[in-house]
Chains A and B, each alone.
Chain A
Amino acid sequence: MNTIVTPGQKLCKDTEYISSEGTYVHKGSIYSSVLGFSHTIKRNINTDNNNETTTTSSSGSSSSIPSEYNNSTSEDKRDYIVVLKEKEPGIVPEIGNVVTVQVLRINPRLASCAILCVGTKALKETFNGVIRVQDVRATEIDKVEIYKSFRPGDIVSAEVISLGDSRSYYLSTAKNELGVVFAQSVVGATMIPVSWNQMQCPKTKTKEYRKVAKMDIAGTDQDDDNDTENGHENEKEDNNNESDQE
């Protein structure tokens, strides 16, 4: 079933499979909605580990299959059908995504920032996001001072909590693993986290207040991420090569 399909291509009847990512149902049939490879995913309610694709995934992005497929409790026996894109520029921050943002400016009520990456994928163009003062941390919300949590230029790991207002997404750092991951001190040195709310400049030894992200959880995540990233890096180069030869 590892075939290339184009948008609008009829894949199967909707009684055979459950329509999933990259597909839609129309008049009892499942159609592809993107250009890519069609896969079927065996449903297995018991364990996550048995969740395998029927084909050796050549696109290497099996991680993008949402986990919620396994949580469905219906008696349905059908497998899922998905179409995976080869190239994925159309990423948009969605609720629940962990995003990497850069703080642009701060005021006592909020820190406004630019969303640079969704997960590990860099966005082509940035989206606006806002971390409101009540979303900085989970405890002692009324004592939070934005000024002591973020500074312009900081790189922050945050979660999208809502689509927000007309200008920006609302983000939150109210989890241990979320917060400032990279910050520079006044003299321009990269600061080292010393506690959950302080970072130290290695040059001047001055301490500055930040809402620091707990790094050790992120560390293991990063390893996983690197694999997929490399895959994408290769793809990117391929694209370049190809277009060079045109």
Chain B
Amino acid sequence: MKIDFRVTNPIATSIPLDYKIYKQQQEQQKQNEQQQTISVPVTTTSEPIKKRTNRSEEQFRQIFMKTGVVSQASGSAYIEIENTKVICSVHGPRASPKTELFESAKFSCELKFASFARPGERIDYMESAKEKDLSINLRQSIIGAIRLEKYPKTVIDVYVMVLNDDGGVLVAAITAASMALADAGVEMYDMVSACSSICIRNQSISNGSNGSGSGNGSSGAAPKVQSSILLDPTLQEEESKDSLGCVVVAKMPSLNEITQIIQTGELSYNNTIDGIDLCIDGCDKIYSIMKQNLISSLEKQVSKKLE
């Protein structure tokens, strides 16, 4: 059994809910009571997606990248996709305590959320299933790009920490990890860039269904649902009940090879293909940003050295 030595509060605490929502619900409940006798229990429902105001549906949020942020690591990168903030460090190639692979390096990835990374309750320090899941996806996306056979008997470890989650964590993690690997000078076939898209029910319909509070039971299974695809969703969009499903694509743009496609939710074939297409375009765009960033960081280093 794992014993957690960390500080704990003997008193159970909770996060208070928003009074505004409570008031709204109270009003709604009153309305419902007027209409029908069955009272709807007070629950926290996520708000309907607001229409994107500052960007179009096929537009990215602002991306900021920087390499070499952790002095103690072989390579590191920090990425901000607006409010999604991820830091990644690479250790290695380093000696493994017990070698299993002789011909190539062992590659491991670990993704952790900071306890305050998401809105609402604090995240446990122990590794959660979600973190494990994301770690595996991250590893699968990148492992194909690394020339592991160049480093026999060694281990390359990638550690990613999510400081602030506002959607697109896996995208940020994959991008950060490949930047960090490039920064570490690990030989790769290509850098992996990633992009996500989300399919949501169209606003007009969802608003209507939301207003009546019923009648949306079969919407997922219905073949023809008015839907639109959004690139680079925020957390609010990801977790909204209007989202039908999500597609994440990781790609090596220079070789034009896809390393991973993750599709979740109920999406029609067309929606999926559209989502993937959108993501592939997005990957290429992110790739060019990554490239620019790396080149300028190297230029900076060289110019400093010449001074």
Contact = CB atoms under 8 A, between A and B. Distances in A.
> Is there any pair of Cβ atoms, one from A and one from B, under 8 angstroms apart in the complex?
yes
Interface stretch (B21-29, B36-44, B92-100, B122-130): B92-100
Given A90-B74, A167-B99, A234-B305, A6 B295 contact: yes
A7 B188 contact: yes
A6 B301 contact: no
Interface stretch (B8-16, B63-71, B110-118, B274-282): B63-71
- Greatest chain B CB density within 10 A among A58, A90, A128, A243 is at A90
A163 B305 contact: no
B189 A31 contact: yes
A143 interface: no
A125 B73 CA distance: 11
B67 to A, nearest CB: 9
Contacts of A22: 187
Interface in B163-203: 182-191
A6 B294 contact: yes
B300 interface: yes
A246 B69 contact: yes
A144 interface: no
Interface in A142-189: 163, 166-167, 169
Interface in B264-307: 290-291, 294-295, 298-302, 304-305
A121 to B, nearest CB: 12
Contacts of A124: 74, 94
A239 B304 CA distance: 9
Interface stretch (B46-54, B132-140, B150-158, B206-214): B150-158
B255 interface: yes
A8 B153 contact: no
A35 B189 contact: no
Contacts of A9: 254, 291
- Greatest chain A CB density within 10 A among B74, B95, B186, B254 is at B95
Contacts of B186: 34, 90
A207 interface: no
A241 interface: yes
A135 to B, nearest CB: 18
A49 to B, nearest CB: 27
B233 interface: no
Interface size class of A (residues with CB under 8 A): 35 or more
Given A8-B252, A246-B66, A26 B189 contact: yes
Contact of B304 (A88, A126, A128, A238): A238
Given A125-B94, A166-B99, A90 B184 contact: yes
Contacts of B290: 6
B147 interface: yes
A167 B98 contact: yes
Contacts of A4: 295, 298-299
Nearest to A59: B302
B93 A238 contact: no
Given A89-B184, A92-B154, A31 B190 contact: yes
Given A92-B154, A166-B100, 20 more contacts: A6-B295, A9-B291, A10-B254, A33-B147, A34-B182, A34-B185, A85-B185, A86-B302, A90-B93, A90-B184, A90-B187, A92-B151, A125-B91, A125-B95, A127-B94, A127-B95, A163-B153, A239-B71, A242-B301, A243-B71
Interface of A: 4, 6-10, 22, 24, 26, 31, 33-36, 58, 85-90, 92, 124-128, 163, 166-167, 169, 234-235, 238-243, 246
Q: Which 6 A-B pairs have the closest CB atoms?
A: A8-B190, A8-B254, A127-B95, A33-B187, A7-B188, A89-B74
26 contacts: A4-B298, A6-B294, A6-B295, A7-B188, A7-B190, A8-B190, A24-B189, A31-B254, A33-B187, A34-B185, A34-B188, A35-B182, A35-B294, A85-B185, A86-B301, A86-B302, A87-B183, A89-B74, A90-B93, A124-B74, A125-B95, A127-B94, A163-B102, A166-B99, A166-B100, A240-B71
Interface of B: 66, 68-69, 71, 74-75, 91-95, 98-100, 102, 145, 147, 151-154, 182-191, 252-255, 290-291, 294-295, 298-302, 304-305
